Amino acid sequence: MHGGGSNSPSRRRIGAGTGRLLLAPRDGGGGRININTCHGLYRSMKMLSELVRSDEVNSLPRVFVPLDGARRGRPPTLYRLRADSEKDVEAARRHGLPLVLLTPEWVTAHGYPEHFRPLLFVWEGLAGMVSSSAYSRVLVRDRDALREPGFEEFVTFLLKVDALAARAVVLRNRGKYDPHELYRRVRNEGMEERATRVRLQEFVPGLPMVGEPFPQADLDWAEKNAPVPLRAP
């Protein structure tokens, strides 16, 4: 994402790169739509991105909303992603964009009945390019974790917003996950302190202790009073 005209030294671009996403058109035609993610590296060392249209022949899916108006009869080239429904998120994911919904159904299915509005987890590099009127956004550091998220990735996402629920899900799914992969995801996301609060080291050997954990008695009380897993009909 460009610096938006700011002259602040912390926002001055010092490098750039490009990554291409090839998007198949909705009409199933043989052509392709190119959306480039252009990455700018700033003095703050923050990697930001923008969605840039490189092929102006085909129409774009509706989840891509123009940022700039038409110039001298040409279609706009800068876009943002609008994710206002599960279908929008699914469409964006089909086109390779790094975002995913964490739903209460997933948490409930893994032994911890929950009721909350789905949360939209977005790669932090696209933070300024993704908007939603339906979901709260939560930024994710590790882009790869959003590619094909499984149990370990979703637990790490849950750890960001509800550490006690994350511990309960891990506790109720012993033997059904890879502790080494969970270790990797927690470290990649920089969630060691939140993991320490709920003593996730009990289930993830080698995970560093960062900060002070909740008293064990408090965690035992929380588990004792946690929602009872739903029984299959």
Q: What tokens does 145 get?
A: 């974790």
Q: What is the mean pLDDT of the chain?
A: 76
Q: What total of structural domains would you count in the chain?
A: 2
Closest CA to 208 of 200, 219, 217, 220: 200
pLDDT tier, 58 (very low <50, low <70, confident <90, very high otherwise): low
pLDDT of residue 123: 93
* Residue 44 within a domain: yes
Determine, yes or no, domain membership for 233.
no
Mean pLDDT of 136-161: 95
pLDDT grade for 94, boundaries at 50, 70 and 90: confident
Candidate ranges 10-19, 73-82, 203-212; pick with highest mean pLDDT? 203-212
In a domain, 12, yes or no: yes
CA–CA dist 125, 85 (Å, integer): 21
What range does the domain containing 11 cover? 1-81
What's the CA angle centered on 216, arms 193 and 230, to 5 degrees?
A: 90
Assess contact for 80 and 61: CB atoms under 8 A.
no
Q: What is the full DSSP assignment across 82-95?
A: E--SHHHHHHHHHT
Claim to verify: residue 132 and residue 150 sit in the same structural domain: yes
Q: What pLDDT does 220 receive?
A: 94
d(CA 164, CA 104): 15
Based on the fold, state whether residues 74 and 107 are members of the same structural domain: no
Both 214 and 101 in one domain: the answer is yes
Helices (H), the chain: 86-94, 104-109, 151-161, 163-171, 179-188, 192-197, 216-224
Domain boundary among the residues 61, 81, 101 is at 81
